[in-house]
Amino acid sequence: MDISVVIASYNHAPYLAACIRSALEQTHAPAEVIVIDDGSTDGSREVIEGFGAAVRPVFQENAGTYATLNRGIELAQCDWVAIHNSDDLWRVDKLASQAKIAENDPRVGLVHTGVEYIDAQGDILQNVEGADLRPFRAEVSYEALPVVLRTNPVVISSVLLSKAIWSACGKFDEQYLGMGDWEFCIRAAQHARFGFVDQPLTLVRKHSSSAGMDPSRLPSDWGGRDWQRMLMNTMPDAGAGLFKQAREGRVNRNQAAIALASLATLQTREGLLVAARTSLRMAMRLSPLRAKTYARYLMTLKRSIRH
């Protein structure tokens, strides 16, 4: 299997060389390594150019993470694309482990791996601020929609992605500021199974200038803006898709019902009561004996009466 690696780079000069080497030194050697620098001002260009013909450099004005990823995938010449972040690292057998899953199951369109977290010096972190995805477990090949509709277990720098799936479900939505990887996974899960390598083959670096830890990198209201957009648009469509999958026997009906009820809880909190009742009715049809679902439905009716 030929794989293109796309590295999205922005102001990570101290970590960039190690990131690129971790892609070039894979036991399953990539066919190409594309490094797209998104308007860095910290000397990243010199680091990239120092690799010479080993990488394919692209330099652009700052356009944001998701625009950069879309451009890289568009440029990729292979049918499978591995996404890398310019401050993260891969263990040497990452691509080989993912390629094996993709080759063994043609239903899989995205393969992600377990993670470990490292600090600026590359030392393993035991305590992690924010979301910690180390406990996530899944089958080697699994229907991901019931999972990603509730939470996002996919670290984007661990992803091996079928370019066909990227085309089928649509590109990364460039209007998102930070949740675009989760939103993309929700759409991708409606088109293909996900594969999972249950080993920490992706090392996610936590440092003061990373997007998740530097508040100056994003506007203060970015989470609310992204969340509203996803809850109003992508999630309801995915809920209907999940209902259809469960009715067809592709996913467990009870798991789908729980995911739909969880979606309804989120919709209720945001005052989207009509949408919440739609999600709950689908949950009831899939799992009619689940009492909690009826209680949640009554709660939406009471809130409507109060308003």
pLDDT tens column, 89-119: 999 999 999 999 999 999 999 999 999 999 9
Q: How confident is the model at residue 130 (pLDDT cuts 50, 70, 90)?
A: confident
CB neighbour class for 110 (10 Å; exposed up to 12, middle 13-18, buried from 19)? buried
How far apart (Å, rounded) are the C-alpha atoms in residues 188 and 301?
Answer: 33
**Section 232-238 average pLDDT:** 94
Q: Are 79 and 187 part of one and the same domain? A: yes
Q: Are 157 and 99 part of one and the same domain? A: yes
CATH of the domain at 77: 3.90.550.10
**Section 265-285 average pLDDT:** 93
- Residue 162: which domain range? 3-217
Q: How confident is the model at residue 214 (pLDDT cuts 50, 70, 90)?
A: very low
CATH of the domain at 231: 1.25.40
How far apart (Å, rounded) are the C-alpha atoms in residues 90 and 66?
Answer: 21
User: What is the chain's mean pLDDT, rounded?
Assistant: 93
pTM score: 0.92
Q: 9-52, pLDDT tens digit by residue?
A: 999 999 999 999 999 999 999 999 999 999 999 999 999 999 99
Q: Answer whether 158's CB lies under 8 Å from 74's CB.
A: no
